[in-house]
Amino acid sequence: MQKIQKVNSEHENEINILKQNIQQLVEENNVNLKQKDEKINSLEEQIKKVNN
């Protein structure tokens, strides 16, 4: 029984680490998406200026 609890505890730790890693990736992705949006907006503004 103790061995099962140990394995469960190890799995819980692994799951928590994976959750943290996923959260970090989501946050990094959000930052990247924001940067892309800003770049697109900047390029659109430049295009407008050139066309006027």
Contacts of 36-45 with CB under 8 Å at 24 or more apart are none
Residue 36: closest CA among 50, 28, 51:
28
Query: What pLDDT, on a 0 to 100 scale, did the predictor assign at position 32?
Result: 99
- By residue range, what is the domain housing residue 7? 1-52
Counted residue by residue, the chain has a size of 52
Residues in the chain where the model's pLDDT stays below 50: none
Tokens of residue 35, six digits? 């940067």
The amino acid that residue 49 corresponds to is K
List pLDDT tens digits, range 23-36. Answer: 999 999 999 999 99
Query: What pLDDT, on a 0 to 100 scale, did the predictor assign at position 44?
Result: 98
- Total number of domains constituting the chain: 1
